[in-house]
Amino acid sequence: MRLKKIKDSDKIVRECKNFVDNPNNYKNKWNKVFKNDNPIEIEIGMGKGDFLISKALNNPNINYIGIEKYDSVLVYVKRKLDELNLENIKIINIDASNLLDVFGKEISKIYLNFSDPWPKKRHTKRRLTYESFLNIYDQVFVNQNVNIEMKTDNDDLFEYSLESFKEHGYEINKIDRNIDDLYKTEYEKKFIEKGKNINFVAVTK
C-alpha cells in the first residue's frame, strides 16, 4: 500500500500530548515517563492506532507504547488521541531496528500486528520475525520473560514466522488461523469484512 505523505507531519505529531520526542533519552526510565511501575507493552508498527488505543482504554493498569517509523501515519493516531484523555499510552517515531537505543529490560509484551510481509526472498531480513529482530526483542524484556503476540493476514509470513519463532527457542502457546478477537487494527476490520482469515500466534520463551 502506498503511504500518503502528509505535509508537516513531523510538526503535527509533536503537538500530540502522548508523543514522546527524543525517546532515546528515556531508556531504562519509561516508568518515570508514565509516573508508575505498571507493566509496559509495545506495538511495533502501530499503524493508525485502533488496536493499541483500544487496549489502553480497556486496561488502565497497563502502559502502552506505540512504535511507528512513519510520522505521516502517526498524524492519524494523534487525531484519535486528541479526543481522549489517556495517560497510559505514548507514541514514538522510530524504526524497529533501533529498539535497543530506546528500551532496556523494561517491556512485558510485544505486539506485531500486520507487519510488512516483505514477500521477496531478498527482503527476508527485513521481516520483523527475522532472527536479527528476534535477537533485539530478547534484550528488552523484563527478566528475560519473552512474550510476543502476532497477527497477520499474510499466510506465507505467518508460516515463516512460526518456524522462525521455533528456531529461536520460543514456545508456541496458541495458534489461531482464523481469529476474531476484541482488539482489532484498522486493517484487520477491513480484512474480516472481506472474509479474509486472520492468523494469530502467541509465543513465550
d(CA 101, CA 179): 34
In sequence order, the 6+-apart residues with CB closer than 8 A to the CB of 45 are 67, 68, 69, 96, 112, 113, 114, 115, 116, 128
Which residue in the list 50, 82, 101, 116 is annotated as catalytic?
A: 116
For residues 187 and 197, what is the distance between their CA atoms, to the nearest angstrom?
12
Strands (E), the chain: 40-44, 63-67, 89-92, 109-113, 147-152, 171-176, 199-204
82 is catalytic: no
- Cα dihedral sign for 130, 133, 89, 11? negative
Whether the CB-CB separation of 94 and 23 falls below 8 Å is answered with: yes
Catalytically annotated residues: 116
